Amino acid sequence: MPARHPAAAPVRGFQKASMRMPLDQADGLRRLFAGRGRHVLALAANPHVPFSGVVLDRVAAALAAQGREVLVVDAAASAPLPHELARVDLAACIERLAPRVSYLPARGLPLAYVDTRGSAGAFIEALQLAAPVAEVLLLHAEGPDLARLFQRRAVRPMLIGADHPESIKHAYANCKWLARRCGLLSFDLLLAASPSSPRVRGIAASLGGCADTFLGAALRDWALIDPAGDPGAAPDDTLQRLLGAQLEVDDLPAPGPAAAAGPWPAAAGPIPHRTAFR
């Protein structure tokens, strides 16, 4: 398997093991779990957050701590390219990284599943078939790819930010992509920053205010992830609460159709106020 980008590699320090299994066993597992509830979580990639790999680690670990089988699908621009077999056998390319946590490098794969209406939803269906025991698919991808993946699904995207203005501008741009293209108007924020920073609450408030004022969107909740924190520590209660609410979103109706006509929204436009960083 290709080496993973250090900023994108989840759950470091664990021995990898192959996830490939005989075809008859895989088919039996698909049948066994066919009726079981699945959860698909969207994590919007942000190139201005140097600790995005840590965010993936902590989210996957928190979900595993809840007893969930998690497949981390890393389709961000910073992720490694998928194995050459990925287009014909996704299951063969999934790595077991830790108890309850598996990983699939998937940069560029969503585009391979785009249909004539611009939807890449078939990629999610292919992932569910390839990983029948995964209860949670954690999809880490750029805003445009998430917009293609979630055209027809109810989801509350999780934005990633840091204690830096450019990262919050990009988080807002992802919010704008998904609001305009998918009609998704509810978001959460994962803020990779030191808990000693005096700006963290102001950052979340600023981003939420801009989303409300300019997009009519709501920043429902946010959680702080300390990049320097102990990776083996118990998951933070705030993060666990946020993820618990994320797992309930599947019960909501899918969003109404977005205005598919017209150009993709520009990443520029109203941006979060810089006062939060002063």
pLDDT in the model for residue 255: 53
Show me where the domains of the chain are located.
17-252
Work out the average pLDDT over 39-47.
Answer: 97
C-alpha to C-alpha distances, 74 to 34, 129, 211, 220, nearest whole angstrom: 24, 17, 26, 24
pTM of the full structure: 0.81
- Residue 250 confidence class, pLDDT cut points 50, 70, 90: low
pLDDT in tens, 183-200: 999 999 999 999 999 999
Three-state secondary structure call for residue 194: coil
Span 17-252: which CATH code? 3.40.50.300
Instruction: Answer yes or no: is pLDDT of 253 > 90.
Output: no
pLDDT of res. 260: 42
pLDDT in tens, 101-147: 999 999 999 999 999 999 999 999 999 999 999 999 999 999 999 99
Q: Which of 232, 235, 233 is nearest to 224 (CA)?
A: 235
Residue spans of beta strands (DSSP E) within 113-229:
136-141, 158-162, 186-192, 218-225
3-state helix, strand, coil in the chain (%, to 5): 35, 15, 45
- Residue of 133, 101, 132, 106 lying closest to 120 (CA atoms): 106
For the chain, the farthest-separated pair of C-alpha atoms sits apart, in whole angstroms, at 59
Residue partners of 93: CB distance under 8 A and separation at least 6: 1, 82, 83, 85, 86, 104, 105
Do 225 and 54 form a contact (C-beta atoms < 8 A)? Answer: yes
Does position 15 have pLDDT exceeding 50, yes or no?
A: no
